[in-house]
């Protein structure tokens, strides 16, 4: 991960027009940027990274760029990075238990993939994702309803940018590597404990209570809490 230090931003290219800078900032406010999706803007971002950093820093935000993986996003400054209490400008997503669970399962699958494969992209079929999550759902004889519920969680994770449907390949998704920037070891550890409580509750017939209370939070600034 490359974090841009605003103190070095004086070396930015002065010739860049304000329209390019504005377009970059607006795009980043809408969500993460990807090299393969924003192919026209990506080289401009790399050229103007220092100016973008300066621009968002006055709003209490920090630009994070991973050139190797090809993504960039904005996150809020941590408490230890500023003495100013800024209003929240990036999205904060409150997620239900099973959506959080799917994110955790995808993050773990990506870690396993990286440890065992030389490929750079993890691609999963919709059926694979459904089966990953189905085992944690309460038993039901209504397969259509179960599929509808799981697909709702898949759509939510896709909206968050962690799953990317492959063009021309029906029901195939790439697990975006930006998930690693949002879901760290501590997040997974905390969620694993919550998952154990959930599994024990399912065994005891109390799944609904755990599901309602086990909302998790993924923030657009890359922090969890």
CATH number, residue 186 = 1.10.10
Q: Are residues 47 and 84 in the same domain?
A: yes
Q: How confident is the model at residue 81 (pLDDT cuts 50, 70, 90)?
A: low
On the 0-12 / 13-18 / 19+ scale of CB atoms within 10 A, 104 is: buried
Please report the pLDDT score of residue 40 as a whole number: 95
Please report the pLDDT score of residue 147 as a whole number: 84
Classify residue 225: in a domain, yes or no.
Answer: no
How many angstroms separate the CA atoms of 47 and 12, rounded? 8
Residues 6+ apart with CB under 8 A from 79: none
Q: Are residues 73 and 123 in the same domain?
A: no
Summarised one tens digit per residue, pLDDT across range 153-188 is 999 999 888 999 998 887 899 999 999 888 877 777
CB atoms within 10 A of CB 40: 7
What's the average model confidence in pLDDT over 86-99? 62
Q: What mean pLDDT value characterizes the chain?
A: 77
H-helix or E-strand containing 153? helix 143-160
Q: How confident is the model at residue 76 (pLDDT cuts 50, 70, 90)?
A: confident
Q: Which two tokens stand for residue 51?
A: 């100016």
> In total, how many domains does the chain have?
2
Q: Structural domain of residue 117, as residue ranges? A: 93-219
Q: Are residues 21 and 53 in the same domain?
A: yes
Given a cut of 70, is residue 214 above it in pLDDT? no
Residue 92 three-state SS: strand
Q: Which among 42, 41, 47, 74 has a CA at the least distance from the CA of 58?
A: 74
Residues 6+ apart with CB under 8 A from 94: 215, 216, 217
């Amino acid at each position: 991960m490359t974090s841009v230090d605003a103190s070095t931003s004086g070396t930015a290219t002065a010739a860049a027009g304000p329209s390019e800078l504005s377009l970059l900032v607006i795009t980043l406010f809408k969500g993460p940027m990807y090299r393969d999706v924003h192919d026209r803007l990506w080289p401009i971002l790399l050229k103007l990274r220092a100016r973008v950093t300066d621009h968002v820093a006055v709003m209490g935000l920090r630009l994070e760029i991973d050139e190797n993986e090809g993504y960039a996003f904005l996150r809020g400054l941590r408490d230890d990075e500023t003495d100013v209490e800024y209003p929240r400008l990036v999205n904060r997503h409150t997620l239900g238990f099973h959506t959080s669970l799917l994110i955790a399962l995808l993050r773990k699958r990506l870690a396993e993939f990286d440890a065992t494969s030389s490929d750079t992209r993890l691609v999963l079929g919709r059926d694979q994702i459904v089966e990953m999550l189905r085992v944690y759902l309460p038993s039901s004889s209504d397969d259509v309803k179960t599929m509808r519920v799981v697909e709702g969680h898949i759509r939510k994770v896709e909206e968050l940018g962690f799953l990317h449907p492959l063009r021309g390949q029906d029901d195939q998704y790439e697990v975006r590597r930006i998930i690693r920037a949002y879901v760290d070891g501590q997040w997974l550890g905390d969620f694993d404990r919550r998952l154990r409580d959930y599994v024990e509750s399912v065994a005891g017939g109390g799944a609904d209570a755990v599901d309602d209370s086990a909302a998790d939070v993924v923030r657009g600034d890359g922090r969890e809490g």
